[in-house]
Structure 1
Amino acid sequence: MTDLSRRTLVKSAAVLAATAPLPSLARSAKTPRIGRYIAVPESGVHAFKGIRYGRAERFARPVAEPLEGPAITAAKFGPICPQRAMAGEPQSEDCLFLNVWTPEADPRAKRAVMVYFHGGAYTTGSVTDPLTHGAKLAADGDVVVVTVNHRLNALGYAWLKPFGARYADSGNLGQLDLILALQWVREHIAKIGGDPARVMVFGQSGGGAKIATLMAMPAAKGLFHAAATMSGQQVQASGPAHAWARTQAFMAALKLAPGDVEGLRTMQIERLVEGLAATDPIMGGGVYFGPVLDMTNLPRHPFWPDAAPQSLGVPMILGNVREETRAFLDPRGPKLQGLSWENLAARMVPEIKIDLDPVWVVEQYRAHEPGWTPEQVYYAATTAGRSWPGQVIEADARAAAGAGSTWVYQLDRPSPTDPLRGAAHTDDIPYVFGTLDAPGSYSGTDDAARRLSGAMMRAFTGLAKTGRPELAQWSPYRLPARETMVFGDTVRVENDPRRWQRELWARAPYVQPGV
């Protein structure tokens, strides 16, 4: 699906939702509110969209926003962080908004709370995507769902501390936004039916990486009681030297003098966003902004040299999809055109983050899986050498530290709507949210999709409610067995699936993007 067609579908869905008749909920119960925000009914639950949780000046720490004020019907999302993607969405630096779906806005309800952080690395994305609307999960899972937008890219993660104490928190401002949102949940969620003592954070791709980073941030300690990461890990943060090189490359692309931080702080946001097209001086490609090891807000790497001790007691689900890279290495695109055994090794090189001889790698795959095609090897190897290692490192680190409340999954079910897609990055989102029929979903809506969605939803809501997945057969992850739940058309536990691939890629260090 092209970006243009996806945006068209998303806009159409939003128009239909806005013009649909209100459910009976609105006529049968008093409309709840929290502070100045008045709920709207949505699919049988109460929705509060566009709640402002904070404000922030450019490159400064966020500050909390009072709930009280003139009444607002909370019927639409707030603007998203300025970025080069999602051009059809309202964008603004004033983007610290969250959204809540609750089955019952009664302080006595005390339902478990699930707080979602979106993907898009640390550079793009938002929670306005219909795949992550929370009404279905709130209703079917009997939980309160919160989704959060925050500052991204240079606005949230540019390293400016060398310019002076005014910028001491730069490099991790996007993370501080998330901490402020979690503090909002702690202070206010009980007013609309949530239990501040049972808060689970979950996120996909970049959202999972943000969670892994929070697990090493002292200010986040105690703000959440369970966590789940979906194809998103953060083994290491960016070091300050590399972060500074990126800031300098970004400023050069904006034609600013190396010391002109005031120009960066005051320039028009449209021009600042244009600068995000700068080339990354460390890894090539677009300039990377992400959490920085600043020794204050983030005093250690999240999962190096071990799992952050402060979060070992937090129950955690870690998951990945079997062929992650099919989502961003388009099987219909130029990188796959003319793929053969002769050029396979060379085409793999730019896509992997572990430095092994690609010719040797191809030989190993052909020896282990002689029936595979070059395309199958390409996607298996690029997934195992790029998108999967971080999850293995994190799960192993928790197991090695004795954190028994760790569960690992692998999504195997291929898309029934696009056979070339297989089981790819982002494909677990609609199963967990129950948004199988949302624009952008590849899950289909058949019986198998609904069964799998029910299982994954029970697992995630079970972790939020009780600290363990609500699937009796799902064993905790331990070494050396590496018990893994395989979510496919059947649901089963396997010990160390893809073992030989894991061992192959473990022969050399994993390079976390951004370090």
Structure 2
Amino acid sequence: MAEGPVRAGDSAGPEDPVVGTPYGAVRGRYENGLAVFRGIPYAAPPFGPRRFRPPVPPEPWTGVRDAGAFGPTPPKPPYSEAFAKLLADPVVPGDDCLNLNVWTPEPGPGARLPVMVWIHGGALTRGSSAIPVYDGRSFARDGVVFVSVNYRLGVEGFGLFPDAPANPGLRDQLAALEWVRDSITRFGGDPDRVTVFGESAGAISIGALLASPRARGLFRRAVLQSGAPEVTERDKVRRVVRRMAARLRVPATARAFAAVDRGALIEAQAEAGRRASPVVGGPAFGIVVDGELVPRDPLEALAEGGAAQDVALLIGWTSEEHRLWLAPTGLLERLNRLGPVALAAARARCRCGPEVPRGYRLARPGAGPADLVGQLVTDFLLRVPLHRLADAHRARSHVYEFAWPSNVPGLGACHALELGFVFDTVGVPEAERLAGPGAPQSLADEMHGAWVRFAVTGDPGWPAWDATHPVRVFGSGGPGLVRGPRDREMALWGHGAPAPTGAERDAASPGPDAAPRTVVRRLRRPGAMRRI
């Protein structure tokens, strides 16, 4: 196998870049001076006898495989109409969905450039590397080899069965990182300078990989955007699988599900999970403790300081994460109408005493019930564990908050809004769906530049986490450093005590003085959003 770029004389485009991989050569495209390779398989198609099984290497090929277009995307249901207006999620048909893409400014083994590997979000049920917002050209333009990854989603990637290993989708991510270790030198990258970054479900996945002994040494730095290390209680995942099995009238086993038509399986998955929401909970797919790849709750392992101490972290959130979950479906207005009852339901969801919502009301005197509920649940699920993670990795963690409000009415500084700024793609139509027209390019320059600096040097440009809790705020007034902007709310949770584990979060249920179960059921209407 040839090392580095080679030229294929029989190519219709002889100037296109060709690079050898351990499984065969691939031909990409030169785009604006950058070499781009799309749809490179890092594992075999996960169907037929390989369905619901750990990934295996792809079959080697002879000749040169074309890598000019995005490869197939994993099976997934479409977004509801309300969210499809805001979030792009293209579908590329085909079985060979365990693939990745590479943007590089300098293919060849001599460059040894820093590498950034992107793991997309989508509640572990949606998303792909083909979303235009995730175009890697800006990273490659700035001297980074950029890699984006597809992995199995929903029941295919995170279903739990008695006759199949758990977490196949997370195992896909691990296989992609192993491909990067073994292959990225040929694309100009340095396998010893890998930064893995992801948002929401992608960040949650990275949290699990940070604590996994099997992932040790595969990356040097990690970025967790709007997602904290967590695991889902196993019975919560089993409930989704059982609901699907009942709808399909088959046993809740991998063998039975593998025999079901792929389209029917996706329809059953969409129906079984349609009422799940970060605000009100409900059964959902998630990473589970499996005793091997995920030996224990990753938050516990990381908070104790026994894992990933040599990995530098960049972690953060948006100011109004909850507005993407609540505003598009009208749940924001329903929560405001429910008033104190909604706050009682949130208290039950978060298993906290009355002093916590009372403290939020005092801290935010102008906020309505929906925003109070949203911030309460966001802190419980996200900011408290991320503060805990930063405390455990003090001096190796940098923390940010994205505070620029969308130009789309009602969204504010919502979940996923920062993505176009991180990727410097605020001008693409798919980013404008969420940000609206006229997003400030200067803010994209600042945020994208910080991510590149972190990948190159480990320092994004502001002080590391310490006892004063420095947070870089990216907002409409320009980036600025704020000390302890969330400390008042964190103190209400007794921050400094252990953060709630994944099992404790999943076990949250209304107490005797909480909102009636009928209220929680009313909030779980069709259209309520899962974690993006």
Residues 334-345 of structure 1 mapped to structure 2, 5 A cutoff: 334-337=330-333, 340=336, 343-345=338-340
Q: Distance in 1 between matches of 2:126 and 2:469?
A: 33
Q: Does 1:432 align with 2:422?
A: yes
| Matched residue, 2:485 | 497
Larger deviation, residues 222-231 vs 277-286 = 277-286
| Matched residue, 2:180 | 185
Contact 1:348–1:382 (CA under 8 A) maintained in structure 2: no
Superposed CA deviations along residues 288-344 of structure 1, whole A, max 9, x for unmatched, are: 1221111122111111263562312100101100001111211x643233765x632
Superposed CA deviations along residues 151-192 of structure 1, whole A, max 9, x for unmatched, are: 1111111122x33xxx2xx22111111111011111111111
CA shift, 1:31, in A, is 3.0
Q: 1:219 aligns with which of 195, 214, 217?
A: 214
Alignment CA distance shift 1:444-1:241 (3 Å): closer
CA shift, 1:255, in A, is 1.3
Residue segments in structure 2 that go unaligned for 5+ positions in a row:
1-11, 80-88, 508-532
| Matched residue, 2:4 | none
Residues 197-208 of structure 1 mapped to structure 2, 5 A cutoff: 197-208=192-203
| Matched residue, 1:145 | 146
CA shift, 1:80, in A, is 1.0
Q: 2:299 aligns with which of 297, 303, 308?
A: 303
Q: Secondary structure at the match of 1:114?
A: strand
Q: Distance in 1 between matches of 2:412 and 2:206?
A: 27
| Matched residue, 1:355 | 351
Alignment CA distance shift 1:99-1:312 (3 Å): same
Superposed CA deviations along residues 198-238 of structure 1, whole A, max 9, x for unmatched, are: 00000011110110011122211111110001101123x12
Contact 2:39–2:100 (CA under 8 A) maintained in structure 1: yes
Residues 435-474 of structure 1 mapped to structure 2, 5 A cutoff: 435-441=425-431, 442-443=434-435, 449-469=440-460, 471=461, 474=462
| Matched residue, 1:174 | 169
Percent of residue pairs identical? 30
Alignment CA distance shift 1:343-1:240 (3 Å): closer
Contact 1:313–1:403 (CA under 8 A) maintained in structure 2: no
Alignment CA distance shift 1:286-1:255 (3 Å): farther
| Matched residue, 2:33 | 44
CA shift, 1:70, in A, is 3.3
Q: Does 1:255 align with 2:249?
A: yes
Q: Distance in 2 between matches of 1:348 and 1:430?
A: 33
Alignment CA distance shift 1:68-1:436 (3 Å): same
Structural RMSD (CA): 3.0
Superposed CA deviations along residues 18-39 of structure 1, whole A, max 9, x for unmatched, are: xxxxxxxx99966343343111
CA shift, 1:346, in A, is 2.6
Q: Distance in 1 between matches of 2:250 and 2:42?
A: 33
Superposed CA deviations along residues 63-102 of structure 1, whole A, max 9, x for unmatched, are: 1225643323312111111111268512445310100111
Contact 1:101–1:145 (CA under 8 A) maintained in structure 2: yes
Q: Secondary structure at the match of 2:326?
A: coil
Residue segments in structure 1 that go unaligned for 5+ positions in a row:
1-25
Q: Distance in 1 between matches of 2:358 and 2:307?
A: 42
Q: Distance in 1 between matches of 2:105 and 2:61?
A: 23
CA shift, 1:381, in A, is 3.9
Give the partner amino acid of 1:500: R
Contact 2:104–2:140 (CA under 8 A) maintained in structure 1: yes
Contact 1:279–1:285 (CA under 8 A) maintained in structure 2: no
Q: Distance in 1 between matches of 2:436 and 2:274?
A: 38
Q: Distance in 1 between matches of 2:418 and 2:218?
A: 25
CA shift, 1:481, in A, is 1.8
Residues 390-401 of structure 1 mapped to structure 2, 5 A cutoff: 390-400=382-392
Q: 1:99 aligns with which of 98, 101, 107?
A: 101
CA shift, 1:264, in A, is 1.5
Count of paired positions: 468
Q: Distance in 2 between matches of 1:93 and 1:309?
A: 39
Give the partner amino acid of 2:478: T
Contact 1:322–1:412 (CA under 8 A) maintained in structure 2: yes
Q: Distance in 2 between matches of 1:40 and 1:482?
A: 45
Q: Distance in 2 between matches of 1:128 and 1:506?
A: 42
Q: Distance in 2 between matches of 1:485 and 1:493?
A: 5
Q: Distance in 2 between matches of 1:117 and 1:292?
A: 18
Contact 1:111–1:144 (CA under 8 A) maintained in structure 2: yes
| Matched residue, 2:42 | 53
Give the partner amino acid of 2:487: R
| Matched residue, 2:76 | 83
Alignment CA distance shift 1:308-1:207 (3 Å): farther
| Matched residue, 1:3 | none
| Matched residue, 1:112 | 114
Alignment CA distance shift 1:484-1:450 (3 Å): same
Structure-1-length-normalised TM-score: 0.83
Give the partner amino acid of 2:485: P
Q: Secondary structure at the match of 1:346?
A: helix
| Matched residue, 1:329 | 326
Q: Distance in 2 between matches of 1:440 and 1:349?
A: 37
| Matched residue, 1:4 | none
Q: Distance in 1 between matches of 2:147 and 2:63?
A: 23
Contact 2:151–2:172 (CA under 8 A) maintained in structure 1: yes
CA shift, 1:58, in A, is 0.4
Give the partner amino acid of 1:475: P
| Matched residue, 1:14 | none
CA shift, 1:390, in A, is 2.7
Give the partner amino acid of 1:269: R
Q: Secondary structure at the match of 2:139?
A: helix
Q: Does 1:33 align with 2:24?
A: no
Structure-2-length-normalised TM-score: 0.80
Give the partner amino acid of 1:184: W
| Matched residue, 1:383 | 375
Contact 2:408–2:435 (CA under 8 A) maintained in structure 1: no
Give the partner amino acid of 1:229: L
Q: Distance in 2 between matches of 1:385 and 1:422?
A: 17
CA shift, 1:41, in A, is 2.3
